[in-house]
Amino acid sequence: MTVQDTWTHRTVLLNEAIESLHIKPDGHYIDATFGRGGHSRLILSHLSPEGRLTAFDKDPEAIAEAGSIKDARFSIRHEGFNQLGELPASSAMGILMDLGISSPQIDNPARGFSFRSDGPLDMRMDTTRGQSVSDWLADASIESMTEVIRDYGEERFAGQIAKAIDRRRQERGPLRGTAELAEVVAGAVKTREPGKDPATRTFQAFRIFINAELEELQQALAASLKVLQTGGRLVVISFHSLEDRIVKQFIAEHSKEVFDRRAPFAEPKKMRLRGLGRIRPSDAEVAGNPRARSAVMRVAERTEA
């Protein structure tokens, strides 16, 4: 067995997500974040020969994994899910977004997502394009680093960490590895919750920033309103409060009629979504897969346009 064989992924809320999609066998469905294909494979098992599944993913390793699915009903696009809007209007009966980073991405040191094993300080979801964290940190100002760590990591020691990174750059040059960054952060963060590594929030912040994850999520949610058919389901699984807040507010915003105060006698804009609830992993799932503990799944249905 090679090291890579141990980089397995356990899909969180797998059955709950597919049940929430309320799949119609002849429908067209979208797995907006293919990952390692757990959701896609289960969706395909519910489709008839006339059904279709379109998947999206930026990660070249995910695209390679998708190549193992030999099914005429399935297609994948090497794009971020903010490109959902390119699909025809009202063409999908369900859209699934699993916003979690996959276990193979975390566990493979070469990807640079984890502070547990040393590797290049990369963190790009799509390794074929864009700027790595290492490249960004080489020139980022203290103010920019502070803002990113504070806003995307919700880290109260953001200023101290940014200054520590700057001191490290001045003394020894740019940071190149994950272990280096984790060491710098640990030296700047004096207290932390029991059982939580001091670098956790900073690594989250840099990953979200370098991949523009929150902006991409907002674009994908907006596109889902165009692509979903009436009665189609939107299912979104998030893993931290910043993502979940965006999803919650999006569903709430579009689940009510909007009155224009400037035109009090005009017809209100109709609600476009109906919230169907919030689901958390069971105790049994969390016990078997600790990475599921922070997951929150929100479900909504497209109302009549």
Residue position matching structure tokens 């690594």: 203
Question: Would you say residue 116 has pLDDT above 60?
Answer: yes
Q: What is the mean pLDDT of the chain?
A: 89
Residue position matching structure tokens 């790595």: 132
Chain centroid to Cα 235, Å, comes to 13
Strands 296-302 and 28-31 turn out to be unpaired
List Cβ neighbours of 156 (8 Å cut-off, separation of 6 or more): 150
Using one digit for the tens of pLDDT, what is the confidence trace for 91-113?
999 999 999 776 666 666 667 66
Using one digit for the tens of pLDDT, what is the confidence trace for 146-204?
999 999 999 999 999 999 999 999 999 999 899 999 999 999 997 777 778 899 999 99
Q: Which CATH class is domain 3-103+213-302?
A: alpha beta
Per-residue confidence (pLDDT) for residue 304, from 0 to 100: 78
CB 17 within 8 A of CB 98: yes
CB 55 within 8 A of CB 35: no
Per-residue confidence (pLDDT) for residue 1, from 0 to 100: 30
Going edge to edge, which strands form the sheet with 296-302?
74-77, 52-56, 28-31, 92-98, 228-238, 296-302, 273-279
Question: Would you say residue 259 has pLDDT above 60?
Answer: no
Using one digit for the tens of pLDDT, what is the confidence trace for 197-243?
899 999 999 999 999 999 999 999 999 999 999 999 999 999 999 99
Q: How far apart are CA 278 and CA 300, in angstroms?
A: 9
SS3 state of residue 198: coil
Per-residue confidence (pLDDT) for residue 263, from 0 to 100: 58
Domains 3-103+213-302 and 127-210 share a fold: no
Domain boundaries, the chain: 3-103+213-302, 127-210
Per-residue confidence (pLDDT) for residue 253, from 0 to 100: 93
Q: How far apart are CA 216 and CA 59, in angstroms?
A: 15
The domain 127-210 having CATH identifier 1.10.150.170: the answer here is yes
**pTM listed for this prediction:** 0.88
Task: Give the number of C-alpha atoms closer than 13 A to the C-alpha of residue 80, restricted to the C-beta side.
Answer: 21
The helix-helix angle for 200-210 and 213-227 (nearest 10°) equals 50
Average pLDDT over residues 47-57: 97
Strands of 151-284 (E only): list them.
Answer: 228-238, 273-279
